[in-house]
Structure 1
Amino acid sequence: MKKILFISAVSLLSCNRSAQQTHPPVGGVLSQKDLDVSKNRMRNLNSQERSQIQEWANAQPVKYYTTQLNYWVTAENFDKRERRPDNSTISYSYDLYDFDQTKIYDQSFERRDAKFGHFDELKAVENALRFIHDGEEVTLLVPSSLAYGTYGDEKKIDNDIPLIIKLKAL
């Protein structure tokens, strides 16, 4: 018992208290400084990704147009179209690709009769579904902040990965 207490005491004393905290404790709150660091990191990452996506889009044979929400789409004046109202339904499917144009998941994501305001989807997908016409297929170029962000999907998509999304209204 004395050995366990001694080892515990030595372990506690040898802890480095000057190490920076990278994540708040579970249920904890970030300080304003931590929030500012995180905000600046995301602003810089978004700026860098937007530049890289624009460069990639310029090299493609298909024309991409920017939207007000900060993603690109293959339809001109896309987010100037009539917007679908809340509680209307839509059926759709989409595939996810990385910027090497490698399909990430073999199976398409598909939803039938989803009701706006009552489903949780990637921000860019939900926004694009508001403007897409029935039967139309568009390609979205999405920065990571509008995709799976700093956490990824905890399966095949890592953190901070921009995506190509091929979306179709069924």
Structure 2
Amino acid sequence: MPQTSAPLSPRAGSRIRPRLIRYAVAAAAAAAGTLLAVGQPVGAVGLPRPGVAGLGNQLTVTYDDGAGRVVTRTLTCGDAATPDGRDACLRLDELGGPLAPVPAGQMCSMIYGGPQTARVTGVWGGLPVDETYRRTDGCEVSRWARMVPVLPSPADGMDGGRRMLPA
């Protein structure tokens, strides 16, 4: 009888599945968009749409401090990385890109971290990115903290929220 690999633990599966599903949906949407745009079938499903992969790793971070101040920054990683964005690029490399949303049904502490929100859009690893970050509970606060310096440290953080990409 052939041996099968052990199934993923519930915890590991809860981290991997949402990201895989998101990537599969993004790839299918990209393929469908290419088909509609050119009117011809694409070569293979799952390949990034033309023009996206060539952009490298480029993200736009829009931060709202919760008091009406909105700041937008652009982060370009790779050969075109700016010295000011190098720490953020290294952090994203460590994380494997912007963090996926907290899985539905995840138990989180009900500790409010503040009114700050951020939206990260663009391309990472040839795939489209559109993630929103909040500080509404313990899971979201932790997710935000892992994204510093891509996202600014919160106002109650060690640098008063000033550590963010330059304009």
TM > 0.5 fold call:
no
Larger radius of gyration: 1
TM-score, normalization by structure 1: 0.31
TM-score, normalization by structure 2: 0.31
